[in-house]
Amino acid sequence: MKKTMYEKIWDSHFVHEESGQAPLLYVDRHLMHEVTSPQAFEGLRNSNRKVRNVHSILATMDHCVPTKNRDLPIADPIAKKQIETMAENCEENGLNLYDMKSPDNGVIHIVVPEHGFVHPGMVVVCGDSHTATHGAFGALAFGIGTSEVEHVMATQTLPQKKSKTMIIRVDGELSDACTAKDIALAIIGKTGTAGGTGYVFEFAGDAVKSLSMEGRMTLCNMAIEAGARAGMVAPDEKTYEFLKGKEFAPSEEYWEQAVAHWGSMASDEGAEFDAELVLDAAEISPQVTWGTSPEQVVAVNDVVPSPESFESEIQQQACEGALNYMGLTAGTKMTDIKIDYVFVGSCTNGRIEDFRAAANVAKGTQVAEGVTAIAVPGSYHVKEQAEEEGLDKIFTEAGWEWREPGCSMCLAMNGDELKDKERCASTSNRNFEGRQGKGGRTHLVSPAMAAAAAAAGHFVDISK
Amino acid sequence: MKAYTKHESIAALMNRSNVDTDQIIPKQFLKKVERSGFGVHLFHDWRYNEDTSDNLDFELNKPAFKGSKILVVGDNFGCGSSREHAPWAIEDYGFNTIISTSYADIFYNNCFKNGILPIVATKAQLDALMAEIEANEGVQFTIDLENQDVITPAGNGFKFEIDPFRKENLSKGLDDIGLTLKHEEKISQYEDKHKTLYPWLWA
């Protein structure tokens, strides 16, 4: 029988199924950060259980860490305690932790690929919805809750219900002005934020194959914003090339064997999916969200939609509420919307390629008057690489702030946040109400679009 | 975990769709290292005014909904972040039942780990429940997990579907981990196979 990649990973990780119970799936890699793990460790301690496989875990500190004055103690006492608790829990259980002072520190979904910790065909979990990122390697990677974090630590398995599969084919060639971020937003614009619920996506087609590993990570990262359990891309030469020589990649001795296994995990030609979505890459323009949900998105050369332009009453109400919160009037050209803030970073767009793209646009410009622009590398390795290439200079000369790594303003837990009614061009993944600070207004864009907005003070159609 | 038993309770109405976990529990409250005490922060940004007084325009602040255990909400409830702080806050506030047409995947799973029953209704069933609450704020519904019944005074009740394994665990308040560890031998056997097939992961 012809099988999809998802089915192959499922079958190869199936442990046991007790009649009437959900099947148990084996977990190869467990990623951790400070926000969703403390209560899991507490649960483990309270029930006298141990971590089953300490080598399956890689932990970092990213959500609460400051992106400036890193040498000073964390000012927020509750955040400080959370960071200290993470260190204690990892120490107590002998886990590999990239703490705040480590040269390997950074956002979990950035540092994990940097060290080659996720391979094709794996089952990967993390108490974080953007775990979907690692599907870029042809792994089944999904976010879990804290109770499940505890479950995986204790048992190395999770009771799982099988998902449906959807193939999303992006054919043709993407224009130079567009990136994986624009593909992701264009897809969510079609599916809606619940369109993927119950599904695992497999992204395919020429435009997806042409993406770099970084681009594939951006695309898979956003699968959760369409409601999907996970997103994945079939592994290929680019995947193997990316992994080769990395710390947790297979050694020379096992390399051939591993690559043969990885290659066998791709969906069989003609395998059946439960649903299919096809997009033409050539029709995708640079995207900007206008509302408070990632599905509320248009092309930058479009206008803010009106509630009447939506079919369902629910969408009309949602539009009205979003326009109200965002302080926007229907019919306004997206390029006429003025911004106060620019954020380039996050697990969606905090990789070296993202800073190259933003710097390429920022080069020789000046941040518009009244606008604050911050560039927050996803990890110390990204920061180092960018500095080696002189990107930090390009940003600072253009009037940007060049920060230390962390999740920063993607979810504004660390003090980097918008003030009430401030409007931000952001490369992050969620434009929910209050996500970047209470009353803050978020527009999701690609790094190049963010940099263009920083210089102009409003959104710019970079395809022109 | 508390066992879920049949109960009659006030049903609170929140007619909003795509309510995300950032709204259920805003990120500034995620820094605690304990599981308890999140209820006072539930829907914080909607629930409180700038001066920390109650926002009386917010649905759940209506006196008629005080003490409710059943939350009736619009489509795609709990989308966004995986934070289990969301169901912790909902449970700590006093809800043990949610009724909607759909839930985000991770949130749905998280509910069952915390003694919360997320009931999936059809659009028509949900509309009828919402209309009944609107017409009679403070109305009490009965939730019977054993028979998978929602019962309402105006007769808008219905039978709901639930995975039998989840139903069993919820109704007995069982710990998933304990159940899984009964299969420890199977896990060890799988790991032995795993070591042979993928030796590079164990090298």
Q: What are the tens digits of pLDDT across the range A100-156?
A: 999 999 999 999 999 999 999 999 999 999 999 999 999 999 999 999 999 999 999
Distance between B129 CA and the closest CA of chain A, angstroms? 17
pLDDT of A195 above 90: yes
Mean pLDDT (chain B, rounded): 95
Tell whether B28 is within 8 A of chain A (Cβ): yes
ipTM of the complex: 0.93
Mutate to test the interface with B, among A57, A62, A155, A317 (most CBs of B within 10 A): A155
Could you tell me if B102 and B77 are in contact, meaning their C-beta atoms sit under 8 angstroms apart? yes
pLDDT of A313 above 90: no
Tell whether B75 is within 8 A of chain A (Cβ): yes
The predicted-structure confidence for A150-189, as pLDDT tens digits, reads as follows 999 999 999 999 999 999 999 999 999 999 999 999 999 9
pLDDT of B136 above 90: yes
Mutate to test the interface with A, among B19, B88, B180 (most CBs of A within 10 A): B180
Q: Which two tokens stand for residue A15?
A: 């442990």
Q: Residues A319-328: what's their mean pLDDT?
A: 97
The predicted-structure confidence for A350-385, as pLDDT tens digits, reads as follows 999 999 999 999 999 999 999 999 999 999 999 999
Q: Residues A44-59: what's their mean pLDDT?
A: 95
Tell whether A411 is within 8 A of chain B (Cβ): yes
Residues above pLDDT 90, as percent of chain A: 96
Residues pairing with B72 in the sheet: B13, B99
Tell whether B68 is within 8 A of chain A (Cβ): no
Q: Which of A370, A355, A368 is nearest to A419 (CA)?
A: A370
Q: Residues B56-77: what's their mean pLDDT?
A: 97
pLDDT of A398 above 90: yes
Tell me the residues of chain B between 146 and 175 that have a Cβ less than 8 Å away from chain A.
163-165, 168, 175
Q: pLDDT class for A329, splitting at 50, 70, 90?
A: very high
Q: Which of B19, B17, B8, B14 is nearest to B130 (CA)?
A: B14
Task: Write b or e for each residue in B12-46: b if 16 or more Cβ atoms lie within 10 A of its Cβ, otherwise e.
Answer: bbbebbbbbbbbbbbbbbbbbbebeebeebbbbbb
Q: Residues A336-343: what's their mean pLDDT?
A: 98
Q: Which of A388, A330, A413, A395 is nearest to A357 (CA)?
A: A395
Q: How many CB atoms lie within 10 A of CB B98?
A: 23
* Distance separating alpha carbons of residues B56 and B46, to the nearest angstrom: 10
Least confident of A2-6, A70-74, B106-110: A70-74
Query: Hey, are the CB atoms on B109 and A79 less than 8 Å from each other?
Result: no
Tell me the residues of chain A between 254 and 283 that have a Cβ less than 8 Å away from chain B.
254, 257-258, 261
- pTM of the shown model: 0.95
Query: Hey, are the CB atoms on A15 and B186 less than 8 Å from each other?
Result: yes
Residue by residue, DSSP assigns A62-117 as -SS--SS-TTSPPS-HHHHHHHHHHHHHHHHHT-EEE-TTSTT-B-HHHHHHHTT-
Tell me the residues of chain A between 153 and 212 that have a Cβ less than 8 Å away from chain B.
154-157, 159, 161, 193-194, 197-198
Query: Hey, are the CB atoms on A227 and B74 less than 8 Å from each other?
Result: no
Look at residue A20 in the predicted model and tell me its pLDDT.
Answer: 82
* Distance separating alpha carbons of residues A397 and A405, to the nearest angstrom: 20
CB within 8 Å of A43: residues ≥ 6 apart: A147, A150
Look at residue A232 in the predicted model and tell me its pLDDT.
Answer: 98
Distance between A196 CA and the closest CA of chain B, angstroms? 10
Q: pLDDT class for A312, splitting at 50, 70, 90?
A: confident
The H helix count followed by the E strand count for chain A is 16, 19
- Fill in the amino acid letter for A446: S
Tell whether A234 is within 8 A of chain B (Cβ): no
From A78, A127, A250, residue closest to B31, measured CB to CB: A78
Q: pLDDT class for A19, splitting at 50, 70, 90?
A: confident
CB within 8 Å of A36: residues ≥ 6 apart: A127, A128, A145, A146, A149, B82, B83, B84
Tell whether A385 is within 8 A of chain B (Cβ): no
Query: Hey, are the CB atoms on A261 and B198 less than 8 Å from each other?
Result: yes
The predicted-structure confidence for A422-456, as pLDDT tens digits, reads as follows 999 999 999 999 999 999 999 999 999 999 999 99
Contact residues, chain A, for B180 at CB < 8 Å: 24, 151, 154-155, 157, 159
For residue A449, give Cα distances in angstroms to A182, A189, A207, A362, A403: 10, 18, 20, 10, 20
Could you tell me if A423 and A338 are in contact, meaning their C-beta atoms sit under 8 angstroms apart? yes
Look at residue B31 in the predicted model and tell me its pLDDT.
Answer: 92
The predicted-structure confidence for B140-186, as pLDDT tens digits, reads as follows 999 999 999 999 999 999 999 999 989 999 999 988 898 999 999 99
Query: Hey, are the CB atoms on A434 and B22 less than 8 Å from each other?
Result: yes
Look at residue B1 in the predicted model and tell me its pLDDT.
Answer: 80
Crossing angle of helices A380-388 and A352-362, rounded to 10°: 40
Contact residues, chain A, for B32 at CB < 8 Å: 78, 82
How, if at all, do strands A140-143 and B117-120 pair? unpaired
Least confident of A66-75, A83-92, A132-141, B67-76: A66-75
Distance between B62 CA and the closest CA of chain A, angstroms? 21
Mutate to test the interface with A, among B58, B73, B81, B193 (most CBs of A within 10 A): B81
Phi then psi for residue A404, to 5 deg, are -85, 160
Tell whether B66 is within 8 A of chain A (Cβ): no
Could you tell me if A347 and A109 are in contact, meaning their C-beta atoms sit under 8 angstroms apart? yes
Contact residues, chain B, for A24 at CB < 8 Å: 180, 183, 186-187
Q: pLDDT class for B2, splitting at 50, 70, 90?
A: confident
Q: pLDDT class for A390, splitting at 50, 70, 90?
A: very high
Contact residues, chain B, for A63 at CB < 8 Å: 30
Say how many residues make up chain B.
203
- Fill in the amino acid letter for A144: I
Query: Hey, are the CB atoms on B165 and A15 less than 8 Å from each other?
Result: no
From A16, A151, A432, residue closest to B22, measured CB to CB: A432
Contact residues, chain A, for B105 at CB < 8 Å: 197-198, 227, 229
The predicted-structure confidence for A206-263, as pLDDT tens digits, reads as follows 999 999 999 999 999 999 999 999 999 999 999 999 999 999 999 999 999 999 999 9
Tell me the residues of chain B between 42 and 61 that have a Cβ less than 8 Å away from chain A.
45
Look at residue A63 in the predicted model and tell me its pLDDT.
Answer: 96
Mutate to test the interface with B, among A15, A166, A289 (most CBs of B within 10 A): A15
Query: Hey, are the CB atoms on A144 and B186 less than 8 Å from each other?
Result: no
Residue by residue, DSSP assigns A372-412 as EEEE--SBHHHHHHHHHTTHHHHHHHTT-EE---SSGGGTT
From A145, A250, A251, residue closest to B106, measured CB to CB: A145
